[in-house]
């Protein structure tokens, strides 16, 4: 139960931070997507079913608070989660640069996915959408990647403290 | 003899007094400095308190000013409105929306117009019992029926992303210049007629087709959005129109 409730609470907290403090005008252009960082962290550390449901819930919450009528995040977040699940044993994620690169590539992948979906699902032509990728999305992906190293370390440390069971050592399952 | 003794002992006395004075001076100075340090700390604390108080007062004055402006604007409207406060922004950068602290319990419904004293903000997209999501006019999915104030030319204002909109279906034959004001047409039912949407920044008649391209800067600065008004009901039709309708019905 603890393994479900704590990530849900963290997700809601991260979403609240993202819609309030991280949306302030001076930081708006480089606003890091901390919910994405949590999604990817869950992707490399959670079981596929409970983690997938949790990530879908977080994506659904994102959709609820955004002006998006298609449920794009409810689709893209579980998609990223399962991609991270597939890759977690194949890539080295213990160093700061590797984590940042991992998050950066996933943030870009999500941006491209959303862009394609927005173009495909909107019946009308959406002008000025592609420049947004470079002016807004690229700086944001970079800031998310930079912040992810710190957040990954904190989340890892937090989960090893919270989920440690007696007799199994630190972070034992 | 007395004079000689005095002459010999007085330098010692003088020296002794000077040492005493010095020690006294250092002692007093030290004590004074301690007091000064304490006093300095107290004054700094007091100054910080006063500064905080001053900031709060200034914030109250600014908030009062904004609310007064909003109230004055509210009085000019014939529709019933609900005042709300912005509590959050869109979590993603692709979409432009804000969350307000009024919802279904307060009478807010999907599609209702959201405005401020500066002009049109957007419309209600999603509602919850005590919160709602407002789709800003700068969002790609937003479209509002409008007219150019000067020429009365009709067009649709569509969101264009970061703090800009564009005019769609604006006929090429229409005379439109940068600086022209764009207002709501009142068609569609959500927005009352005559609300300021923004000002035309760029007009482009190049290319083919029957329409021209115009870019619009919203009159509302969405980065400074705090308090908004949700239009609950559209104004009733004027008395004359009512009479005409009754006559027609007869």
Number of residue pairs across A and B with CB atoms under 8 Å? Answer: 76
Q: What is the span of the domain harbouring residue B202?
A: 81-231
Tell me whether residues A118 and B140 touch, CB distance under 8 A: yes
B89 and B184 belong to one structural domain: yes
Domain identity same for B95 and B192: yes
Q: Are residues B38 and B104 in the same domain?
A: no
Do residues B72 and B159 share a domain? no
* Residues of A whose CB is below 8 A from B101: none
Instruction: Find out whether A40 and A83 touch, Cβ atoms under 8 Å.
Output: no
Interhelix angle A48-65/A2-19, nearest 10 degrees: 30
Query: Looking at B36, B55, B76, which one is the last position of a domain?
Result: B76
B106–chain A nearest CA distance, Å: 19
What pLDDT score was predicted for residue A165? 62
Number of domains making up chain B: 2
Q: Where are the domains of chain A?
A: 2-162
Q: Is residue B202 part of a domain?
A: yes
Nearest to A66 among B87, B95, B162 (CB): B95
Residue % of chain B over a pLDDT of 90: 27
Whether B90 and B203 map to the same domain: the answer is: yes
8 Å CB contact of A64 and B166: no
Q: Do A66 and B166 count as a contact with CB atoms less than 8 A apart? A: no
Q: Is residue B197, in this structure, part of any structural domain at all? A: yes
pLDDT value at B11 more than 70:
yes
Stronger pLDDT, B148 or B16, i.e. the higher one: B148
What is the average pLDDT across B133-154?
91
The answer, yes or no, to whether residue A80 has pLDDT greater than 50, is yes
Q: Does B238 touch chain A (CB under 8 A)?
A: no
Whether residue A69 and residue B125 make contact (CB cut-off 8 A), yes or no, is yes
pLDDT at B243 over 70: no
The answer to the question of residue B247 being in a domain is no
**pLDDT the model gives residue B76:** 72
How does pLDDT run across B188-203, given as a tens digit for each residue?
778 888 889 999 999 8
Domain shared by B36 and B52, yes or no: yes
Nearest by CB to A67, from B135, B160, B164: name it: B135
pLDDT of residue A77: 93
Which of B22, B43, B76 terminates a domain? The answer is B76
CATH class of the domain whose range is A2-162: mainly alpha
- How do strand B132-136 and strand B119-127 relate by DSSP bridges? antiparallel
- Best of B90, B92, B141 to disrupt the A interface (most A CBs within 10 Å) is B92
CB contacts of B99 in chain A (<8 Å) are 19, 65
Looking at beta carbons, which residues of chain A come within 8 Å of B92? 33, 62, 66, 68, 73
Does B56 lie in the same domain as B171?
A: no
Q: Which residues from chain B sit within 8 angstroms of residue A136, using beta carbons?
A: 93, 162
- Does residue B249 lie within any of the structural domains? no
DSSP state of B105: G
Residue B250 falls inside a structural domain: no
Residues B25 and B115 placed together within one structural domain of the fold: no
Span B18-39, average pLDDT = 75
* pLDDT for the residue B3: 67
- Residue B90 forms part of a structural domain: yes
How much is the ipTM here?
Answer: 0.82
- pLDDT-derived band of residue B9, with 50, 70 and 90 as boundaries? low
Per residue in A131-158, pLDDT (tens digit) is 777 878 888 899 999 999 889 889 888 8
Cβ of B90 within 8 Å of Cβ of A67? The answer is yes
With CA atoms as reference, report the closest residue to B91 among A87, A126, A140, A159. Answer: A140
Least confident of A75-89, A152-166, B156-170: A152-166
Residues B89, B13 within the same domain:
no
Q: How confident is the model at residue B235 (pLDDT cuts 50, 70, 90)?
A: low
Distance of alpha carbon A45 from alpha carbon A74, whole angstroms: 20
pLDDT at B45 over 90: no
CATH number at residue B105: 2.40.10.340
Do both B69 and B85 map to the same domain?
no
Tell me, yes or no, whether B88 and B70 share the same domain: no
Q: How far is B224 from chain A (nearest CA, A)?
A: 8
In percent, the amount of chain B with pLDDT more than 70 equals 87
* Minimum distance, in Å, between the CA of residue A25 and any CA atom of chain B: 6
Residues of B in contact with A18 (CB under 8 A): 91
Give B237's DSSP letter: P
B124 with B209, same domain: the answer is yes
**pLDDT classification of B120: cutoffs 50, 70, 90:** very high
């Amino acid at each position: 139960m603890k393994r479900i409730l704590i990530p849900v609470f963290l997700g809601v907290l991260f979403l609240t931070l993202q819609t309030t403090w991280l949306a302030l005008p001076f930081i708006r252009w480089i606003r890091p997507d901390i919910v994405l960082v949590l999604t990817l962290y869950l992707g490399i550390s959670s079981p596929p079913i409970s983690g997938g449901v949790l990530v879908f819930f977080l994506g659904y919450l994102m959709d609820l608070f955004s002006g998006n009528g298609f449920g794009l995040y409810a689709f893209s977040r579980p998609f990223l989660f399962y991609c991270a699940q597939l890759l977690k044993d194949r890539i080295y994620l213990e160093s700061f640069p590797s984590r940042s690169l991992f998050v950066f590539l996933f943030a870009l992948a999500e941006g491209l996915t959303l862009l394609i979906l927005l173009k495909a699902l909107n019946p009308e032509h959406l002008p000025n959408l592609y420049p947004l990728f470079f002016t807004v999305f690229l700086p944001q992906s970079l800031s998310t990647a930079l912040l992810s190293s710190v957040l990954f370390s904190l989340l890892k440390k937090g989960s090893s403290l919270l989920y440690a069971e007696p007799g199994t050592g630190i972070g034992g399952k | 003899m007395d004079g000689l003794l005095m002459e010999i002992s007085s330098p010692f006395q003088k020296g002794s007094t000077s040492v005493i004075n010095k020690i006294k001076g250092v002692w007093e100075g030290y004590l004074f400095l301690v007091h000064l340090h304490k006093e300095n700390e107290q004054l700094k604390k007091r100054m910080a308190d006063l500064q905080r108080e001053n900031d709060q007062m200034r914030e109250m004055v600014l908030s009062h000013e904004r609310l007064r402006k909003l109230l004055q604007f509210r009085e000019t409207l014939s529709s019933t409105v609900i005042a709300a406060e912005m509590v959050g922004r869109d979590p993603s950068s692709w979409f432009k929306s804000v969350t307000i602290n009024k919802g279904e319990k307060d009478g807010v419904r999907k599609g209702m117009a959201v405005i401020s004293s500066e002009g049109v903000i957007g419309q209600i997209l999603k509602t919850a019992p005590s919160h709602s999501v407002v789709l800003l006019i700068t969002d790609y999915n937003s479209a509002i029926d409008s007219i150019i104030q000067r020429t009365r030319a009709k067009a649709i204002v569509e969101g264009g992303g970061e703090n800009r909109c564009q005019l769609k279906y604006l006929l090429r034959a229409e005379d439109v210049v940068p600086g022209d004001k764009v207002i709501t047409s009142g068609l569609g039912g959500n927005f009352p007629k005559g609300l300021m949407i923004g000002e035309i920044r760029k007009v482009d008649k190049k290319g083919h087709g029957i329409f021209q391209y115009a870019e619009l800067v919203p009159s509302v600065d969405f980065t400074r959005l705090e308090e908004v008004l949700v239009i609950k009901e559209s104004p009733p039709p004027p008395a004359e129109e009512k009479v005409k309708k009754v006559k027609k019905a007869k």
